[in-house]
A and B are shown apart, each in its own frame.
Chain A
């Protein structure tokens, strides 16, 4: 496997650290005018999502991580595994464990395309699209005429997520939601 030296560390580069695949977030070159150079590096652990901050001597290297990010469509779940299909026409399916799915479970909707991260051919992470359209399955009855007051109420969506929505929203409506913040964007 190839390896990368600190001067090649760029945002998004995938490397191995302490046995886990990580993505470089930020790489800062630190050097006293006449002294030894170091790199302060922020890396996101792709297994846990946590961001690590590490210092390396400039010129040190890390092994590349065999990580792929692929577009896949969500198919179904059998209760134990969640199944996704490659979006490239190959119909190849990938089973995903609950651990890898994490918080994305509450944003799952059939036929929507997700970004699936594979490490050594195993799925380690699933990222939903930034915006998703979901139906309201449960909420208090809508209050008419209230569009500007800015009040809100909880609404349960078809995927299982709960979002704060304006008071005028009714059950059965389809809403556009920002999956990064869980916030209501508008009616679909």
Chain B
């Protein structure tokens, strides 16, 4: 066993740069009157999202021995603050996603998440763009907007919203070189997005992708696509240099709809043989009390720093990555 792995994965010089950019990020929000908050990393509720695996731990609390979940993002707690009347808030929060380790992933990472009551999706996109320009020491180029379905039409010649499942499976199997004939619509689309479309996004520009399939809405509202009335998600993602940086929603505020989506997620989890996650009742109660209409966004801060500092992988901007933590 080589004992050089005690060394940090980021150089001390990089950590100094990281600290400087974090201060820069906080200044950005301070100038705009967005309040910095800190919410728990451990919560009674976990994420039901089918493709996010929460870590959990046994804890002894005032309620006795109980299971607490490491948050996959600070979303639920921050929405509870919004419902309690916090106004605009941001957080630099440690988030945890089991199984996610690689060149652009680390089991725990820093999420920059913020919420803007009263701001629409366009306004939020503009603010994300401003933040990116504020943090990057170079000009990333102009901001370009793409609709999800147009990216698939241009690049792959298929409409992801209207094509049959069989056609999507064929397309994904062909382009991915693996058998996708048993997979669902979204899994096929995810493969095509990650393998074929994403690598080209945000080359010499800030790419903003909007109008995702309704099935990929997560916690965003739905609306009708002006083109043909297809149901799409009021959600956007920002890509830079082929890297997915941020994910924004016109936030779902309807508690019934939210409860139904939790139930759908758990139904899919059962189908796939994954562990079910109890819906967060306190979040539902907060929505019941009234979440102000507005937008929220989660940005992978380590990835932004990676780009800002010209590093090849996220671990190079982290003091210690999962593999040597």
Contacts and interface: CB of A to CB of B under 8 A. Distances in A.
Interface of A: 7, 27-38, 40, 54-58
A76 B102 CA distance: 46
Contact of A35 (B104, B176, B186, B300): B186
B100 interface: yes
Given A54-B177, A55-B176, A55-B178, A36 B190 contact: yes
Interface residues of B, number: 30
B218 interface: yes
B105 to A, nearest CB: 6
Contacts of A35: 51, 186-187, 189-190, 193-194, 216
A33 B193 CA distance: 12
Nearest to B300: A33
B165 interface: no
B52 A37 contact: no
Contacts of B316: none
Contacts, number: 68
B267 interface: no
Interface of B: 49, 51-52, 99-105, 176-178, 183, 186-187, 189-191, 193-195, 198, 216, 218, 237, 244, 247, 298, 300
B312 to A, nearest CB: 12
Contacts of B218: 34
A27 B216 CA distance: 27
Contact of B186 (A27, A29, A36, A38): A36
Most A Cβ at <10 Å: residue of B49, B99, B177, B193: B99
Given A35-B190, A38-B190, 4 more contacts: A32-B190, A34-B51, A38-B191, A38-B195
14 contacts: A7-B101, A27-B102, A28-B103, A29-B101, A29-B105, A30-B102, A32-B194, A32-B198, A33-B244, A35-B51, A35-B186, A35-B193, A36-B183, A58-B99
